[in-house]
Amino acid sequence: MKRYSHVTFALLLGLTAKAFAQGNYYYPEGPVVQGLFEAGGAVSTGDSSRFLDGGFTLGGGVLVHPAPGPLAFRATFDYTRLEASRELIDEASAATGTDFRHGQAEIYSLRLNALFEVPLSPFTRGYLTAGVGGANERLSLDRDFRPPVLGVEFFPGAFAGRRDDSDFTYNVGAGLNFSQGNWESFFVEATYEHVNTPQATTFVPIRVGVHF
pLDDT, one tens digit per residue, over 2-31 is 555 555 555 555 554 444 444 444 566 678
As for how many domains the chain has, the answer is 1
The secondary element (H helix, E strand) that includes residue 8 is: helix 2-18
pLDDT, one tens digit per residue, over 131-175 is 999 999 999 887 765 555 554 444 444 343 346 889 999 999 999
| Cα distance between residue 115 and residue 72, in whole Å | 5
| Cα distance between residue 166 and residue 16, in whole Å | 33
Task: Determine the pLDDT at residue 165.
Answer: 86
Task: Determine the pLDDT at residue 147.
Answer: 53
Task: Determine the pLDDT at residue 26.
Answer: 57
List residues bridging with 46 in a β-sheet: none
| Cα distance between residue 208 and residue 186, in whole Å | 7
| 85 secondary structure, DSSP code | P
Task: Determine the pLDDT at residue 10.
Answer: 57
Q: What percent of the chain shows pLDDT beyond 90?
A: 54
What backbone torsions phi and psi does residue 11 show, to the nearest 5 degrees?
-65, -45
- Nearest alpha-carbon partner for 177 in 7, 1, 34: 34
The secondary element (H helix, E strand) that includes residue 176 is: strand 164-179
Which residue segment(s) compose the domain that 171 sits in? 2-211
Task: Determine the pLDDT at residue 149.
Answer: 52
Radius of gyration of the chain (CA): 19
Domain of residue 81, CATH code:
2.40.160.20
